[in-house]
Each structure stands twice: as structure tokens, then as C-alpha cells.
Structure 1
Amino acid sequence: MFHSPYKWCFLVLVIASPLFVWGGPDLYSHRLLTELWNLGHLVFFALFVVLLDHYWYSQQRSKFFRIFATLIVLLSIGLTTELIQFGIAGRYFSWIDLCRDISGGFIVLFWKISQKEARVQGALFRLIALLLLCINMIPLLKISFDTYHSYREFPLLAGFEHKTELSRWDGLARLSLDSQIHLQGNYSGKIELGTEQYSGVFLNQFPRNWSNHKALSFNVYNPGPSLQLHYRVHDNLHSGDFQDFSNRFNGSSVLDHGWNEIIIPMADILHGPQNRKMNLDKIQSFGIFVVQQKDKRIIYIDNVRLQQ
């Protein structure tokens, strides 16, 4: 039935279209899986332009028409899909995804145009197509680089020696590298805490199996007066339990001025949930935060690690 490659493209597009609103990775999915999923925008619209430009070319449209008409179509469809996702729970509008949509289409379009151009012009169009492809592959390469380092450095979970480490973290507080205050290496993580009800950072990307270790420890530098710091650890079962407070490990410590070392025995994490034991081989997140601070504060975190 589907003998023409264009028919196969059409079939793939029809099957893949629902994925814009259904399925996909969540917050705790592996970063590589998430980035590969995001690159689906690139692939989808590349295939779409294979069909679209086949039609333009069959109508003997000029090169300039194909470029500008394709841009308008890609913008229209890309914006529409992003606006639809904006109204769906768990989805959001993303300018980056819109750029991926346009890039995917123009990688194919410029490459096809280059086949019919003179040598110099054709090389220019191919160069632009390759640049677009390389730019869109940069996030995947960065994540691959940091994933390699995270497994190589384990049981160190975060040493803040590479800027790519910041992609392991999430949260409302701003996190950046700082070279002035650090305990090990040349950098620490500078956390700018706000006055929201909960302000902090969460480490979501790391090797999940903590079962062979005796403690989780980290160091925090407090440049100001004493501060109550809360921390939490949860596993895969907590993620599907509406973030119930009693279904995870919760703790807190008072940070004195200067460096503070916090050590959490793995036994405490194991028995953190009230009615069960923590899945130590499926840990998904570790977070530190403050609660309803009157003033903005800055703290520095370093040497987040598991102890044998």
C-alpha cells in the first residue's frame, strides 16, 4: 500500500501527531530521554516539510516562494500546537520547541534546495542546514557529557565543577556556580533563596540506586545569621502520590554562620515514609529549601555525596 516514501512520511506524521498532547517524559525521567523526546519536534517537522516541499516543487514554485511559504506554514502550525499544549494540564508553551519546529523544516528545505543550486550556492544552503542541525544537537551533547560525568563521579552527586551540572537541578531558587566560596574543587553552587512559601533547589538527575550506601551528606555555607534549612528525599512511589508529605523523608537543620556539614543516615531515609520503606534503589529527588523567609538569603552548597 505504502510504496512511495511520501506516503510513509504521511503515515508517520499521522501516527505521531497525538504525541504533541499525550505521552512523553515527566520531571523525573532521564534527561537523555527528555531531550530525545524534544528532538521529536525536529524530526516531525522535517518529515512534514518533505511532504510540503514535494507539493511546492510539483507546482513549480520558485525558491523564494518555497522558503517564505514554508516559514509561514511552520510558524502557523508550530504556534497552534504550542497554544493547544498551553491549555493542557502538564503541558506548556515553549518557544524552544517552536524553534525546533522551524529548524526541522528548514534543515530539509535548505538541503533539498541545495540539490538544484549552483556549486557555491548549493554549498551555502547545505552549510546552513548543517548549522541548524548542529545547533539543535548542542543540548543533547551537553546532557550526554554531564550524564557521563555524573556516573563517573558517583557517589559524588554534585560537586559543581562543570556548568553542565546545573541541568541536574530544578526549583524556584536561582542556582549558579560560584568560585569565591567553595569547600572542594574550584566551585560551589550559589543558591539565591526568595521569599516564596517554599524556595529552594532540587536535584533530580543522578544514579538512582542508593541502596549500597550508608548516608547522604552535603555541605552548606551560610554567610549570614542562622537559618532553618529543610531537606527532603523521595522515591518513585512518592512521585505518583501527589507529593504527600508523609510519603517521603523530611528533615531540617539550623545553619550556623559559615560552613555546615549535614549527614543524613541512609537508615533515616529508608524509614522516612510513614507506612512503608523507601525504595533506596529508585530514589528520584533530593531537595533543600527554606519556608516563608521574610528576607532574601544566599547560601552555598557543595560536595553533595553518598557515603559508604
Structure 2
Amino acid sequence: MALNLPAYRPARNTQILRYLAFAGMILIAPLFFVGGPGWSDGPLFKSAWNLGHILFFALLTLAIQPWRIWTGWTLWGISTLAVLLLGTGIELLQHGTSRQMDWQDILRNQVGVWTILALRPRASLTRKSRPVVWPLRLIVAALLAAEIGATARVAIQQYHVSQLLPALYDFRQPDPSPFWDGVIAPVTDHAIDAHKRALRISLSTAHYSGVSLHNLPEDWRDYDRLVIDLYNPQDHPLPMILRINDMEHDLGDNNYNDRFNTRLPLTPGPNQFKLDLDRIKAAPESRSMNMQTIRRLILFTVALPEPKTLYLRDIRLE
């Protein structure tokens, strides 16, 4: 029996790896439909969660071991097609739940299966196709690095956000879309006096029109006031509304009396508003707002008769 041990151990290790892959796959599978990031979760959690597609389909490939049946381009083609159909089916099934379809997940699924195929000793290719082994591995490695790199960039972004205080937004950002929702763009011009950087907010005639700062430092406990500096280029007043809520409100039923709401009457030209944080904390009707988990700040108008423009020049805590 000792003579057979060297050949037996690799086979046994392969079976153990296969069983572990099956177990991991079974544990992960329900997460396609239960749990996961909701609409109120931050970008880092959402980005990291997306990597689970790569992990699941890598485990699925290890568990099934399709190279036991096919080889060469047949293996790659059938595996790719099978994962394409399975991934599409999962996205369609998710459409009927609270989860949203994300067709980029289908690419992540493919990256998972391709990663395992590319790591095979001979890349599961025949002798004639072996010259393409390393280019193929490099392509798969680049796709995998792009997905992991995207999550790493989000992690760095979120670290910078956590370090912004007392500022709530970095006006040096070239693209506000990872932080704001709405029609908003960075500007640098003399129309806003000495302020070299600002955000131009475009307001429409929709019933509610405005912008939402959803990616911001959350812990406001060490500060006393919120300062908002706005510039109204119109020659007439512009009525604005400010809304602030914490994570608990986002996870609740969106009750008007469970958040902070106030009017900001903008006169022509520069306007600065200073709001006591104690007032914001006491705004919810049946509780105190959690000043450690501020989740969203919204500036909006209601039923404007014509489109308007304003500039946000500063937003910070004191």
C-alpha cells in the first residue's frame, strides 16, 4: 500500500478540494437572493459584494471540474456558454425580488470560471493551442485585476471620505457622481466671486428637483453647526428645502416626521446658512436622530415654474 501512496495523495487532495468547493458554493448560493447590499448601503459594501460573483463561479468550476469531460477550446466554449446562461437566469430571477439586475455581474461570473480554467497546468488547451496559453492567462489576470482594483479604488475613496471632516464634500473632485445624485457638475469661474471651486446645481420643473449627497462623512457628533454656502444667480428669490436623515430613517418607511426638514429661502447672490446640529438631532418626532450615522443630505425645490440654476460653494460642519 505504501507504494501507491504518492499517487493516492494527489487524487485524495483533489477530492477534498472538490468537496470544499461544493460546500462553499452551497453556502454562497442563497446570497444571490437573500441578504446583500440594499439601496441605502455604502459603495464599498456594494463593490466588495460584487466580488462574490467571481468567488461563487470559481468554486462552481472547481466543484464540477468540467475538464474531466471536455478539453481545449470545447472546454472553454461550453463552460463560458453554461455560465452565461446560468448567470442570465440568476439576474432574471433577481428581477422579481428586491435585488436589482446588474448585467456586469454576468462578466464577473465569467471571470470566476475563466480564472480556474486559466490556472489549470496546461490551461486546459490542446498541444496545438498551447502558444495562446500565456496570452490567455494574461487576459484573464487583467480582468480579475480590474475587478479587484475597482473595489480597492472604492476603498481608498471611502477612506478619503472618512477623513474629510469638518468638510462634507471635497470640491476638488473632478466627478461628483460617486457622491451626489442629481444634475450637478463642478465649475471654476469668476461668477461665484472669490470661490474658485463650486458645484453647479441644475433644477428642473419636475415636482421635486434637486441633488442628494449620499456619500459623506457620517459621524457628526463632535460638531455644533452645519454650514451651507449657496449662490443664487437669479435676480429673484429661490425657495429651497433641506432634508437630512440618518441610516435608521433610510431603513424605515420614509416617514416625513422621522427626518430633518427645513426651508432655505435663497435671496439673489450669496447665501450662507448655519444650522444647529441639536436642532437636526431633535427633528425626528419619536426619537433622536443618530448623529453617528448620518446617511443623506438633500437640497431640492418643489414645482418650479421654469428651470433654475444655483451654486453650492461650501458645505461643512463647525
Match of 1:110 in 2: 118
Match of 2:50 in 1: 38
Equivalent residue of 1:176, what SS?
strand
Q: What are the superposed Cα offsets for residues 235-264 of structure 1, whole Å, 9 maximum, x if unpaired? A: 233223311111111011122333322222
Contact 1:213-1:266 at 8 Å conserved across structures = yes
Match of 2:177 in 1: 166
Cα 1:83–1:302 shift into 2, 3 Å: farther
Match of 2:273 in 1: 262
2:292 to 275, 281, 289: 281
Deviation beyond 6 Å, 4+ runs, structure 1: 181-185
User: Taking structure 1 as the reference length, what is the TM-score of the superposition?
Assistant: 0.87
Q: Rg bigger for which structure?
A: 2
Match of 1:247 in 2: 258
Contact 1:190-1:301 at 8 Å conserved across structures = yes
After TM superposition, the structure 1 stretch with the greater mean CA deviation from structure 2, 190-199 or 108-117, is 108-117
Q: What are the superposed Cα offsets for residues 251-283 of structure 1, whole Å, 9 maximum, x if unpaired? A: 111223333222221122022122332222222
Contact 2:238-2:267 at 8 Å conserved across structures = yes
Amino acid at match of 1:174: V
The reply on whether 1:121 has 2:126 as its aligned counterpart is no
Match of 1:220 in 2: 230
2:80 to 71, 82, 88: 71
Match of 1:148 in 2: 159
Q: What are the superposed Cα offsets for residues 191-233 of structure 1, whole Å, 9 maximum, x if unpaired? A: 3333332222222233322121111112223333432111111
Distance 1:187 1:102 in 2: 42
Cα 1:64–1:116 shift into 2, 3 Å: closer
Amino acid at match of 2:199: G
- Structure 1 unmatched runs, 5+: none
Distance 1:63 1:285 in 2: 52
Aligned counterparts, 1:166-245, within 5 A:
166-170=177-181, 173-180=182-189, 187-224=197-234, 225-245=236-256
Identity in percent = 26
- Tell me by how many angstroms 1:305 deviates: 0.9
Match of 2:309 in 1: 298
Match of 1:49 in 2: 61
- Tell me by how many angstroms 1:114 deviates: 5.2
The reply on whether 1:93 has 2:105 as its aligned counterpart is no
- Quote the RMSD (CA, aligned, Å): 2.6
- Structure 2 unmatched runs, 5+: 1-11
